[in-house]
Each structure stands twice: as structure tokens, then as C-alpha cells.
Amino acid sequence: MTASPVPDLAEVFAARKRIAPYLRPTPLYRYPALDELTGAQVRVKHENHQPVGAFKVRGGVNLISQLGADERHRGVIAASTGNHGQSVAYAADLFGVRAVICMPEQANPVKVESMRALGAEVIFYGRDFDEAREHCEEQATGHGYRYIHSGNEPALIAGVATCTLEILQDRPDIEVIVVPVGGGSGAAGACVVAKAVRSPVEVIGVQSEAAPAAYRSWQAGTLVQDKTSTFAEGLATRTAFELPQRILRELLDDFVLVSEDGLKTATRLMIEKTRNLVEPAGAAALAAVLGAPQRFTGRKVAIICSGGNISPAQLAGLWPHEPS
């Protein structure tokens, strides 16, 4: 099987042109309260402001806009814990393509409702993302759908890389970009752009220590599997993906793990200090900065808030009821 090609900066610019009629640039805001908390000069890239509340929609629109007539006729299928599925569902709705999304049985209901409202068929299968993915691949083969992998798709990575393009055009003085990692497409896209536009920019990936497959794969230089017990479903993959890992091994400056408690604290703080709804995966970058303040003190840091699709149950769990 031929390895997927790594997208370059020209493809990211082409992706930006493709998605521009459908998606507006997202804000890059400064919050003095976050500066005070971290000791850094922090700007938040608000991908939670996307139409489906997550960064992945950039990739979905870029990819599905390029499908040929035969692929559009056959329909598309994807496996997702939520945000990749919403991305595919949103883009499929834009371009009149049938979409089927395979999700774990205990999927985030906010994301399920969004996909169904966009016209996608949702199939529940398995305990986690990887069981849903394996079922999805069987369905793709059996029904002839165009399978859209959540990581091994150059067009997805080129699409999500437009986020970093916006960061560096808005703030050319940014020194560090911190990116949450599930499958790794967002971090891979950030690396492709940052190292081509201004190579001294440091790109740091962040994953939960309760779902460290991508982190361990990056360290080992080969794809490995691991547990996935994080409450942040956007970070929950048991295995790493070949194309993002190939990019990360070459270009990523560092990769860190954060604790589940650190994620919960960062999610609460992001909601309180930015007045935005943020899902746990979307707060991972702040968790990394809070976890190593000496590394970021005084530096100009962009943290990518990758999504805002937090469920009511997750939200309530961040502030446990205290008896009066």
C-alpha cells in the first residue's frame, strides 16, 4: 500500500481558497486573566467558534469539495468520537453527499445530535473509537462508500493546517503553538505551516496520559497501541495514525502528556476566563501551559482551542454539587 503524501504549504494555501466560501477565519483572542495565570502572553485560537464547534470542519470541507462524481454518488463513511464525524457530516451536507458516521456506543450526545441534524446516518458500534473505526472500515468495503480516515488523509491535514496559517498571519510574533492531539491531524497541520512559514516557531503537541498512543508512537518512532480511558473523547484513540505520525516525527518540537485532573482544571479555567464553552480536548493546550509554567513564562504563546462540544453531563461534572 502506497503511503499518503505529506501536504505542503502550497496545498494549505489551496485549501484556504477552497474553504473560504464556507468557513470564516476564527478569532485569536488575548485574555489578560490567562496571562496572569500562566505568566505567558497567551492568545487563544477559537476553533470552538466553527459552525460545528471544532477545528476538523476545515479538513472535511477541503476534502469533500474535491471528491469526484463517482465518490459523491457512492457516499462517504467515517469513524469518529464526534468532531471528525461532524466535519464530514457538515461538508457532506454542503455538497449533497450521503454521509454515514460510525461512533462508539457511549458517544457524546451533543455531537450525535449535530451529525443527525446535518443529515448524516449515525451507526453506534463498540466501546471506543477504535472498535467503531474497525466496524466503519468493514462497512466501507461492504457497501462501497468512500472511507474518510480521521488521520491518513492529506486533504484533511491541509484543511486543518489553515488554522495555523491564520495564527501566524494574525500574529507573526508568536513563538510557541500548543496543539491538542488525538489522531494528530491538527498538530501535523500546525507543523507543516509553522516550519514552512517561520521555522523557529516551536510546535508542541499535547495528549492525555490516560490515552497516550500518539505520544508513545512519536517517542518510539513506530505506531503503538495503548489504553484510552480519558474523559476527553477528542483525545481518545488507542492507536496512532501513519501520516500524522510521519509528519510529527520530522517536524514536531515536543510532545507532552497532561493528567486528567489537569484537563478538568484547564477546562474549568477556559470556561471561566474566556467565557466560552470548551470541551476537555479543547482545553488540553492550556493544561500543558499550566503544567510547565517555567517553559512558557514571558513567551508569546498561541493555544489552539480545538473544540467546544462539551455535553451537559461533562459540564456538570466539572463543578460537582456541594451541599449547602
- Coil/strand/helix, residue 178: strand
Percent of the chain with pLDDT over 90: 88
For residue 244, give the H/E element and its range.
helix 242-251
The whole-angstrom separation of Cα 116 and Cα 270 is 28
Per-residue pLDDT reduced to its tens digit, 278-320 = 999 999 999 999 999 999 999 999 999 999 999 898 999 998 7
Instruction: Give the pLDDT confidence score for residue 197 in this predicted structure.
Output: 97
Pair 203, 253: CB distance under 8 Å: yes
Instruction: Give the pLDDT confidence score for residue 323 in this predicted structure.
Output: 53
The Cα diameter of the chain in Å comes to 62
Instruction: Give the pLDDT confidence score for residue 236 in this predicted structure.
Output: 78
Instruction: Give the pLDDT confidence score for residue 240 in this predicted structure.
Output: 92
Res 324 pLDDT > 60: no
Does the global pTM surpass 0.75? yes
Pair 194, 220: CB distance under 8 Å: no
22 φ/ψ angles, rounded to the nearest 5 degrees: -115, -25
The whole-angstrom separation of Cα 201 and Cα 191 is 9
The CA–CA distances, whole Å, from 157 to 31, 135, 181, 274, 279 equal 28, 23, 13, 27, 21
**Buried-state track 129-147, b at ≥16 Cβ within 10 A, e below 16:** bbbbbebbeebbeeeebbb
Domains of the chain: 9-55+155-318 (3.40.50.1100), 57-150 (3.40.50.1100)
Amino acid at 153: E
Confidence grade of residue 91 (pLDDT, cut at 50, 70, 90): very high
Confidence grade of residue 129 (pLDDT, cut at 50, 70, 90): confident
Helix 57-64, helix 162-170: angle, nearest 10: 120
Per-residue pLDDT reduced to its tens digit, 16-68 = 999 999 999 999 999 999 999 999 999 999 999 999 999 999 999 999 999 99
The whole-angstrom separation of Cα 187 and Cα 248 is 7
Res 1 pLDDT > 60: no
Picking from 267, 309, 273, the residue whose alpha carbon sits closest to that of residue 285 is 267
**Buried-state track 94-107, b at ≥16 Cβ within 10 A, e below 16:** beebebbbbbbeeb
Q: Looking at residues 95-124, what average pLDDT do you find?
A: 95
Q: Please, what is the Cα angle at 62 between 52 and 71, to 5 degrees?
A: 105
Beta strands (DSSP E) in the chain are 28-30, 41-46, 76-79, 99-103, 121-124, 146-147, 176-180, 202-208, 254-258, 300-305
What is the chain's mean pLDDT, rounded?
A: 95
Res 322 pLDDT > 90: no
